[in-house]
Amino acid sequence: MNYMKMEIPARSENESFVRVVVAAFAARLDPTLEELNEVKTAVSEAVTNCIIHAYDNIEEGIIMITVSLDGNKLSLEIEDYGKGIMDIEQAREPLYTEKPELERAGMGFSIMENFMDELFVESVPGKGTRVTMIRTLGKKHTWDSH
């Protein structure tokens, strides 16, 4: 198993940096371009949630990103120490947002769920949130060999 850990300030300009670093790390699994784009989008949604919801765009928070590769399985953990989520099930509902004034679509968790094989959300109000996403990459389709 190989892994990397990164700690960044919760600033919007760091979101694109995290996307690129995670994509470069995941590239060892020889994913398709579509798979890589889906992983980058899911990571972007998770980091953006930390910035906007956990820390209310204050830029003083910290986001921890842990990425591991085990075989062809990519595991991502995005963790913040912000305000936490009061109702995880409600937060995972499509179109739900606590920030309608920011014109947020409320699709972050839905996007993460659609682009990853597994999504786990743990949160303690007042302590923070950990989002764990798992995706198998570089799958060879049986019909490719014909």
| Residue tagged active-site, from 15, 45, 79, 113 | 45
Q: Is 45 a catalytic residue?
A: yes
Domain 2-138, CATH: 3.30.565.10
Rounded distance, CA 87 to CA 64, Å? Answer: 22
Residue with the larger pLDDT of the pair 95 and 119: 119
Give the start-to-end residue ranges of the domains of the chain: 2-138
**Model confidence pLDDT, tens digit, residues 30-82:** 999 999 999 999 999 999 989 988 888 777 899 999 999 999 999 999 999 99
What's the pLDDT at 140? Answer: 52
| Residue tagged active-site, from 15, 19, 49, 135 | 49
What's the pLDDT at 111? Answer: 87
Rounded distance, CA 123 to CA 110, Å? Answer: 17
Q: How many CB atoms lie within 10 A of CB 119?
A: 20
What's the pLDDT at 102? Answer: 54
Residue 144 has pLDDT above 50, yes or no: no
Q: Is 130 a catalytic residue?
A: no
| Residue tagged active-site, from 11, 92, 104, 130 | 104
pTM of the shown model: 0.85
Question: Where does the pLDDT of residue 143 fall: very low under 50, low under 70, confident under 90, or very high at 90 and above?
Answer: very low
Q: Report helix angle 108-115 to 33-49, nearest 10.
A: 150
**Model confidence pLDDT, tens digit, residues 90-115:** 777 766 566 555 555 666 788 899 99
What's the pLDDT at 100? Answer: 54
Question: Where does the pLDDT of residue 14 fall: very low under 50, low under 70, confident under 90, or very high at 90 and above?
Answer: very high
